[in-house]
Chains A and B, each alone.
Chain A
């Protein structure tokens, strides 16, 4: 390391005294090295894109044949080797929306407190530490928590409610982070103008800051929804069941769900090879749902940023 630095210093000192031609040659060598290294970096980025596109194209190529009106509107039958995935779609939508309905108000109010009210200090540091660590809890641990707390202790059973609450806990950090970002992007002049007109803090928050930040908050809600919809481990013990052809009647019913259905068909189905097309189809529907939501959020956000 030190050697390298010394060598470099010598090199640049020597460079100063070199003839013009030699200096040009050294310079081009440095630039050639840069070119090669940048090519590697470009390659790294290309690998990301290639991974995403190959996943998408593969599932499209394999899955589109399975998609039909029957597939989207019928329950599975004949030991899940035929039929559709309607109960899974309904289950996933119910779980995702339920999670967002719980997590969004809590997340937004947390962000209001952190960004608009709290002064940086030990309490805020502690709350942030809590949020960061919650974001890092493995999804299967959320599942264990949901099982022990919602399913068993609160006696909610394996149900939409238990699953939605578990997913709400999981998506809370995502929502808080994006709501805070939305509040950060509201210019302070707005707040000052509001105070200048004699508004109180609460009035400023509710009438000025929240409405201005609303689009950003919605983006976060969509991202949270997509995250919740794609998760499997947290709902395995709390909400999802192997097979249940009729649609849920209440929040206390267990449901089928898209991610869990893929897992079940691919690993424990009655006939794994025979149901392959159904697996591809289900994966395609899940991907379209999750990535579609993400794409909406990403495009919306980039439009918001450009407006500013």
Chain B
């Protein structure tokens, strides 16, 4: 009787473990299908030619599959959005964790969460019909759908990510550290700048990396507002075509199984590997550099 119960318990545990492996299995499945559908493109173009080629004419004969302009565009919109989103996000986090009274916090924190929940297609839509005409008129540029617009809209999307993860890290700095600093006569700001931020820097870095990774992987916003030109941009007012936009725009019009189809999956591989590196670095940072004190992420 007892024996059977033990078997059942063990069986359940193994069953649970198998289900828990679903996430890894999905991740593995994503890799398997990306590679099996993407690698065939290298029959028609070399890896070097694919990554460093500047010409993207997938439908001409013979086709050109060079995704360098897309890689550059992805990196540039990521950098552009980080320039805005990192200070804004970290400052918001510090405000929420350290400065705001609990009443203000209870109002602002849900707002940040709701901002994070805004569907990307809506942000892209507003970027198209509000921000683009505004930029075009005030700056007198040929098109408002460009690198700058994409960076602004992406910043709006990554600020909440950066803010909420950083806030968790800042919030978990032990009160004893803060109290020690205040007791030594430091002002609240000096305590934030010299004690609290340094001791939660691993969490803040993780937040920044994840925010950047979110920006480079974001699709709808760049598809709608980046302008779509597969050229290496000359300035921040040039239209660009990040990798995500290229995949989303072309996949629907591409005949299944052709070289173009494989090229888009190969673009997906590059995108996937970049975000994978970002996530692994974030994971490494958050585990390697433990928080000060008893708290950890």
Interface size on B, residues (CB 8 A): 87
Taken together as a complex, chains A and B put the C-alpha atoms of A144 and B118 apart, in Å, by 23
**Distance from A1 Cβ to chain B, minimum over Cβ atoms (Å):** 12
Q: State whether A48 touches B251 (Cβ < 8 A).
A: no
Q: Is the CB of B24 within 8 A of A126?
A: yes
**Contact with B220, one of A200, A233, A295 (Cβ below 8 angstroms):** A233
Q: Assuming A42-B95, A52-B115, is B20 touching A34 (CB within 8 A)?
A: no
Tell me the total A-B contact number using a CB cutoff of 8 A.
257
Contacting pair B219 A140 (CB below 8 A) = yes
* Chain B residues whose C-beta falls within 8 Å of the C-beta of A143 in the assembled complex: 247-248, 251
Residue of B whose beta carbon sits closest to that of A276? B129
Mask, B185-201, CB within 8 Å of A = 1, is: 00111100000000000
Q: Is A227 on the interface with B (CB-CB < 8 A)?
A: yes
Q: Does A173 contact B (CB under 8 A)?
A: yes
Q: Of A185-193, A208-216, A285-293, which stretch is located at the interface?
A: A285-293
A298–B252 touching, CB < 8 Å: no
Q: Is A14 part of the contact surface with B, judged by Cβ < 8 Å?
A: no
Q: Is the pair B29, A145 in contact by a Cβ cutoff of 8 Å? A: yes
Measured CA separation A304–B132 after assembly (Å): 42
A130 touches B34 (CB 8 A): no
- For residue A13, CB closer than 8 A to chain B, the reply is no
Nearest B residue (CB) for A12: B185
Chain A positions 16 through 46: 1 when the CB is less than 8 Å from some CB of chain B, otherwise 0: 0000000000000011011001101110110
Any B CB within 8 A of the CB of A266: yes
A127 and B276 contacting across the interface, CB-CB below 8 Å: no
CA A28 to CA B114, docked complex, whole Å: 38
Verify B189–A144 contact, CB threshold 8 A: no
Is chain B's binding surface mostly helix, strand, loop or mixed?
helix
Beta-carbon contact of A227 and B117 below 8 Å: yes
Q: Which of B124, B210, B214, B283 makes the CB contact (< 8 A) with A129? A: B283
Complexed CA–CA distance, A94 and B265 (Å)? 28
Q: Are A144 and B216 in touch, CB under 8 angstroms? A: no
Q: B268 and A298: CB pair below 8 A?
A: no
Q: Would you call A134 and B190 a contact (CB within 8 A)?
A: no
B-facing mask of A123-139, CB < 8 A → 1, else 0?
Answer: 10011011111111111
Residues of B within 8 A of A112 (CB): 16
Q: Is A255 an interface residue (CB 8 A)?
A: no
Instruction: Please indicate the chain B residues that have their CB under 8 angstroms from the CB of A283 in the complex.
Output: 122, 125
A142 within 8 A of B: yes
Cβ of B130 under 8 Å from chain A: yes
Docked pose: A132 CA to B27 CA in angstroms: 10
B113 within 8 A of A: yes
Picked from B117, B121, B218, the residue with its CB within 8 Å of the CB of A226 is: B117
Q: In this assembly, does A51 line the interface, its C-beta being within 8 Å of a C-beta of chain B?
A: yes
Q: Which residues of B contact A266 (CB under 8 A)?
A: 125, 128-129, 224
Judge whether B271 and A259 touch: CB under 8 Å: no
Inter-chain CA distance A78–B200, complex, in Å, is 57
